[in-house]
Structure formats: structure tokens, C-alpha cells
Amino acid sequence: MHKPVYIQYLSLVSPLGNTVEQHLEAFKNGVSGIKLTEKAGFQDTSIPLAKREGNSSNRYDTLLREALEKARQKLSSKLFENMAVIVSSTKGNIDLLPGDTFASTKPIIHEFFPKTDVFIISNACVSGVIAINTAADYILAEKYQEIIVIGIDAVSEFVSFGFQSLFALSNEACRPFDKDRNGTTLGEGCGIVLVSEEKVSESAVLYKGGSSSNDANHISGPSRTGEGLVRSIEKTFKRSGFTASDIDFVSAHGTATVFNDEMESIAFGRTNLNQVPLNSMKGYFGHTLGAAGVLETIMSIISMEHNTLFPCIGYCETGTSVPLNIIQRMESKEINTILKTASGFGGGNASLILQKLP
């Protein structure tokens, strides 16, 4: 890394609240956004979801506008002449089918940031981490001075029915890494961070490096050996100059499907991260797909800011062949360096490392 790259949070909207402070309270109190939701599944079955109130259509557009409004308030005193926006989303606004599901994204962003260059990354559940990595690449390439990264996905019957058809949904709130986990729980949210060449807010931490990889194994099933995730973590270590012993906290992907969490445990074992305090935030947010990487990065920055490890809610007992150091209760710990990982459909993996400012 040739020059510092900063990352700071701007906005966080999910069923847990509309502000960063509300999310901090929810995490401190172990509150989950997941509720059993009537008639949300195929043929009106009830499924657990982390869904915001209301059944409006265009949930994506509403969510995007709410989060952007809050982000713009934080930036209002600054004038950004050389800024771009990168959006991370798996589906965009699904209500726009049969047309282009991403057609509304750029016009909505331009309501708040007129004429800004907008890039959209749609790379399944690793989109959020890849979007932050790409923002840092752009800053290092000196193409832009600031990049707003937006991670967003909304709950939809399309995605719920799809996960049901794959038998990938849990019948209760999902239980990442637990012995009795039996699937994921879907959620929705929007998180916005600013990646910049200069420190812009008090929440700023340093972005130290990141990478992506592919399992080269299966389009919808995780690798049995964790090979892809191992390669991404190792590449990120190499690019950042860090090793496993430097990492104080791992924000894992942890979807709570049987095979995904098992794969991650093997990968963390192979990269000597199995002793490092680790959580999955899917028990709070559900799996927010394209938003997950950004939401969970924001909460990792908050963990660093408050020197607090948040528990992996839903987890009770070791349920992976490689035991991990899963955080079970809130504790204080000096957190200087964190690793965020993600894995998803299409065999994608991604990771990044953040460090507190000296």
C-alpha cells in the first residue's frame, strides 16, 4: 500500500434502526432484527425474516433514499468535486422485472449527488466486500478522491422463494456456526461508507488491503476444503503485510447453512485464525446479501471504535469440524486490526483488513 486509504461510516438502515447509534444499542443488548413473518414464504408459508416494517412495493428504492438522505446530511458541509459512488447489490429493485432491476439505482443516487459517476457491482454475497476493495483501488489509482460505497438489498418474495427452493432457509432465526444450525435467514438493509484519501470523519479507520477469489468448485455449493476463502485471505495478508497473529477480530460471513459455516471453519483453521475472536452478524441482520459486506464492515468499525467484541447471537455450541473462537458474550478488548470475509454463490470469496488509526 503506497498511501493511506481511509474508511468511515455514513449511514446504516436495517430492521434494527435507522442510525448507527440504534445499531450500537441493539448489538449491546443482543437484539435481533429477525421475526417470524407470516405469509412471506412460498404458498403463504411463514418464514423468519429480518424485514423492516411495512409491505410496500419498491422496498429497495425506499431503503436507498432513506440511507442516502442520512449520508448526505453527514456530508453536507463538504464539497466533493472528485467523488464517485459504488453500489453493491445482488438484485437491485426486483419490482422492476421484467425490465432492468438496476434501472432505478443511478437516478436515485443522482437525486442526492447530481452528476456523480456511479458504478454498480453485482457479485452475489461477496459484492459488499468487493465494492469496498474496488473503492480503495480507485483511490489508490488517484481516479477519485472520495468514493461513497452503498451496500443494499431488500427482502423480496423472489429471493425468499429461491432460498426456499434450495432448502437453504432456517425454520427459526438462523444460528451461525452452531451445532443445530439448519439454514440462513434473509434480511434487508442499506449501509453506506466513505472510502477516501483523507480522513473525513472521527469514525475513520485505515483500509489496509483486500482481495477476492473463486472456489473454482461449484456455482451454488461452498467448497469442501475452503480453498477459495483461504486463497483470498492469504492474498489479503500478503497485500496488507499482516499475518493471522495481527488480527484481533474476524467478522466472518457465517450464513448458518450447514455447508457454508463448515467450509469457513476449515478455511479459518488453515489460515491460523481459529483462535481469533470471531462472529457472524447474520443473527442480528439476517443475510442481507449484497448489503452484508458493507453492514458488517460498519459494525466491525464500531467494534474497533468502542473496543468491544459483540457476541455471535444464535450460537451456543461448537458445530464445525474445526472449532473456532466464537464470541459468546459482549466483552471489552483492545481491537486494532480486523479481518472481514465473505463467501457466496458463484464460488466467490472476498476479504479485507482494516486498522485503527495510530
Partner 1 sequence: MKILAHSYVCPQAVLLNGKPVSDLKNEENPFKSAYQQLGVDYPKFYKMDVLSKMAFIGTELLLPYFPEGIDQENDLQLIFANSSASQNTDNLFVESYEKLKNPSPSLFVYTLPNIVTGELSIRHKWYGENCFYVEDSFNPGHFSEWAQMAFDKGNKSCLCGWVEAKTDGEQECFLFLLTNSENADNSIELELSTLIKQYRNE
Smallest separation (angstroms) from partner 1 to the CB of 193: 18
User: Is there a contact between 318 and 167 (Cβ–Cβ < 8 Å)?
Assistant: no
Taking CB under 8 A as the criterion, the residue among 138, 207, 284, 315 binding partner 1 is: 138
Q: Does 211 help bind partner 1 (rule: CB under 8 A)?
A: yes
How many residues bind partner 1 (CB under 8 A)? The answer is: 52
Handedness of CA 339, 340, 343, 346 (dihedral sign): negative
Stretch binding partner 1 (CB under 8 A), from 16-24, 55-63, 133-141, 147-155: 133-141
Cis, bond preceding 98 (omega within 30 deg of 0): yes
Q: Print the binding letters for residues 26-55 with partner 1: x by CB under 8 A, - otherwise.
A: ----------------xx------------
Residues 82-111 that bind partner 1 (CB under 8 A): 90-92, 94, 97-102, 106
Give the shortest CB-91-to-partner 1 separation in angstroms: 8
Closer residue to partner 1 in complex, CB, 170/279: 170
Interaction between residue 145 and partner 1 (CB under 8 A): no
Q: Which is nearer to partner 1, 178 or 197 (CB)?
A: 197
Given the rule CB under 8 A, which of 22-30, 118-126, 243-251, 334-342 is the region that contacts partner 1? 118-126
345 binds partner 1 (CB under 8 A): yes
Binding mask 170-209 for partner 1 (x = CB under 8 A): ----------------------------------------
Dihedral class, residue 2 (left if φ above 0, else alpha if ψ from -120 to 50, else beta): alpha
Q: Which residues bind partner 1 (CB under 8 A)?
A: 42-43, 90-92, 94, 97-102, 106, 119-124, 130, 134, 137-138, 140-141, 143, 157-158, 161-162, 164-166, 211-220, 227-228, 231, 235, 239, 345-348
